[in-house]
Amino acid sequence: MKRNPSTTIFTRLLLGAGLCFGAVQAHAQTPEFTRQDTLRGSITPERAWWDLTYYHLDVEVNPTDSAIWGTNTIQYKVLEPHQRMQIDLQPPMRIQKVVQNGKDLQFEQDGNAWFVQLGEQQEPDSVNSVEVHYGGKPQVSENPPWSGGLTWRYDSNGRPFVANSNQGDGASLWWPAKDHMYDEPDSMLISVKVPKGLTDVSNGRLRKVEQHADGTSTFHWFVSNPINNYGVNVNIADYVHFSEKYQGEKGELDLDYYVLRGNLAKAKKQFKDVPRMLEAFEHWFGPYPFYEDSYKLVEAPYLGMEHQSSITYGNNFQNGYLGRDLSGTGWGDKFDYIIIHESGHEWFANNITYQDYADMWIHESFTTYSENLFLDYHYGKEAAAAYVIGQRDLIQNDRPIIGAYGVNQTGSGDMYPKGANMLHTLRQIVNDDEKWRGILRGLNKEFYHQTVTTAQVENYLSKQTGRDLRPFFDQYLRDVRIPEFQYRMEGNKLMYRWNNSVADFNMPVNVHVNGKAQWLEPTTNWQELKGAPKKAKLEVDRNFYVTAAKATS
């Protein structure tokens, strides 16, 4: 049954996975930006001069008082001489000291930014490091994962169940970092000390577990690939573990699953969607981008997030989105939404990562569209089309999909269903499924392990399709209007054009004239359909995200 969700249901359904909606709403209601927005969202002079190469985050997590204490060693390469470094850490967390080569450094706080004065001369091309000591009780997420912070809960046996979720609000909610998406470390070591009987699961591969005399344990996880800040993850619980191997395009991939002790049987059944996901996504997007770091699916005390190689899961071991089909077509009941959607982010978010939060559509539009491609691979093209078209009921067209640059602001939540329908429309324009598959695979190869801009993605797609797609993206990413295919009769002539669109909109479209398919190249000027029958019945292919109307004059 089709449904028309309320705004509240809409936002909770669409923005729950992979987006901190609280941050989006705050910016939507507050269009004036502050100095703190600029410090967080721009490449400041105190960030630009150094290139992040490595982190070692070494922390102790204490569920008893919801506190985190530890250090982050930040290794960097000097790009140009500078003596002042910006490190981000949000209150109530505090930096206690910063050390370089055994010497304490001076620093000052400006809101969420901390400016460190380096004592030694920073020589170009040199590789240096600073050790940041910090601690406190990080912000508690009031509504994870929509609001950023730590979630401190207990399982049914009264054991701690802890995890972070902080996209948008920032990794600096709980650890000191260069908290801007443009720069990623080449690798990272994550060391997490937890109370007796608990396990920490973080990103990458487990190198070792240290057992301490007081019964606590430190888990050391190494990430051998670049990783974005918000993808860094701690999951702490009384976990049980099971695993399997997947024979993928690059060989054997380790699949590791961590769930609460009472959920093992349910997980072994539900997580069968993982190999199905990998089969479909490697077909469409190319090899899983992090073979070296394995693939993990980890139960979390919230719905789920796309933490790199450590996908968090809280969909109650059921298909759909908390048991609900977002498309209203029945096809959304064929898969576990969180497994498929959040895993899709391994290609679009973790492999290809936006440089600026304004370009978040690169993550969410492609990943929402990946749900469609999962269905296409396993259930066929018609099922996939029905699913993505069904999601149009969720589109609000409230504001552009692209946000404001340099201030850590994202665009409309329409980046999910509208973005997916934009890409589905682009597939129709390409009109060659193997070419389209090659474009998607090429995108992941061209920008492998890179941060990108919208311009780079647009230019790549224009080049690969052989068509200037600037008006297309202006319409769907930067405008809120749905283009209207308008037609009318002038005597015996059938005239057509694009209406309700950007000035130079020129998207080709497939129409049916008296049931016969025909491609047209409308512009915003009236054109004549040559050879049209006198009494023509015209319908636009429903796979295009447009409307159609007969002009009255």
How does pLDDT run across 360-383, given as a tens digit for each residue? 999 999 999 999 999 999 999 999
Residue 179, pLDDT score: 98
Q: What is the mean pLDDT of residues 432-450?
A: 98
| Beta strand spans in 118-268 (E) | 127-136, 149-154, 160-165, 187-194, 199-201, 205-211, 217-223, 235-237, 239-248, 251-260
Q: For 32, how many CA atoms within 13 A lie in the half-sphere containing its CB?
A: 0
Between 54-63, 441-450, 528-537, the lowest mean confidence (pLDDT) is in 528-537
DSSP for 232-254 reads ---EEESEEEEEEEEEETTEEEE
Q: What is the pLDDT of residues 228-245, one digit of tens each?
A: 999 999 999 999 999 999
CA distance 139 to 142: 9
Task: Give the number of other Cβ atoms within 10 Å of residue 252's Cβ.
Answer: 9
Is the predicted pLDDT of residue 538 greater than 80, yes or no?
A: yes
Is the predicted pLDDT of residue 22 greater than 60, yes or no?
A: no
CA distance 495 to 492: 10
Express as a percent the part of the chain with pLDDT over 90: 90
Express as a percent the part of the chain with pLDDT over 70: 94
Its pTM stands at 0.94
CA distance 86 to 76: 12
Tell the residue number behind the tokens 């512009």, with chain if given: 523
Is the predicted pLDDT of residue 13 greater than 80, yes or no?
A: no
**Displacement of CA 194 from its chain's centroid (Å):** 28
Task: Give the number of other Cβ atoms within 10 Å of residue 41's Cβ.
Answer: 22
Residue 250, pLDDT score: 98
CA distance 90 to 55: 18
Residue 534, pLDDT score: 75
CA distance 308 to 222: 12
The dihedral through the CA atoms of 198, 201, 205, 207 has a sign that is negative
Q: What is the mean pLDDT of residues 262-279?
A: 98
Residue 23, pLDDT score: 34
State the pLDDT confidence band at 489, using cuts at 50, 70 and 90. confident
Q: Which two tokens stand for residue 331?
A: 């096809």
Q: Which two tokens stand for residue 429?
A: 């324009």
Q: Which helix (H) or strand (E) holds 312?
A: strand 311-313
CB 159 within 8 A of CB 198: yes
Q: Is 451 left (phi over 0), alpha (psi -120 to 50) or beta?
A: beta
Complete edge-to-edge strand list for the sheet that includes strand 547-550: 527-528, 493-499, 484-490, 547-550
Q: CB under 8 Å, gap of 24 or more: what pairs does 248-254 form?
A: 248/278, 248/282, 248/287, 248/288, 248/291, 249/282, 249/286, 249/287, 249/288, 250/287, 250/288, 250/291, 251/291, 253/278, 253/288, 253/291, 253/294, 253/295, 254/294, 254/295
Which residue stretches of 240-335 are H helix? Answer: 264-270, 273-285
User: Is beta strand 484-490 parallel, antiparallel or unpaired with respect to 547-550?
Assistant: parallel
| CB within 8 Å of 157: residues ≥ 6 apart | 238, 261, 262
For residue 417, with 0-12 CB atoms within 10 Å meaning exposed, 13-18 middle and 19 or more buried, which class applies?
A: buried
State the pLDDT confidence band at 5, using cuts at 50, 70 and 90. very low
Residue 12, pLDDT score: 40
| CB within 8 Å of 170: residues ≥ 6 apart | 40, 88, 90, 112, 148, 179, 229, 230, 408
Is the predicted pLDDT of residue 31 greater than 90, yes or no?
A: no
Is the predicted pLDDT of residue 339 greater than 80, yes or no?
A: yes
User: Is beta strand 484-490 parallel, antiparallel or unpaired with respect to 538-540?
Assistant: unpaired
Is the predicted pLDDT of residue 11 greater than 70, yes or no?
A: no
The dihedral through the CA atoms of 336, 338, 339, 341 has a sign that is positive
State the pLDDT confidence band at 553, using cuts at 50, 70 and 90. low
Residue 18, pLDDT score: 43
Q: What is the mean pLDDT of residues 403-428?
A: 98
Average pLDDT along the chain: 94
Q: What is the pLDDT of residues 128-176, one digit of tens each?
A: 999 999 999 999 999 999 999 999 999 999 999 999 999 999 999 999 9
State the pLDDT confidence band at 6, using cuts at 50, 70 and 90. very low
Q: What is the mean pLDDT of residues 396-412?
A: 97
Between 183-197, 211-225, 486-500, the lowest mean confidence (pLDDT) is in 486-500
Which carries the bigger pLDDT value, residue 489 or residue 15? Answer: 489
CA distance 157 to 174: 27
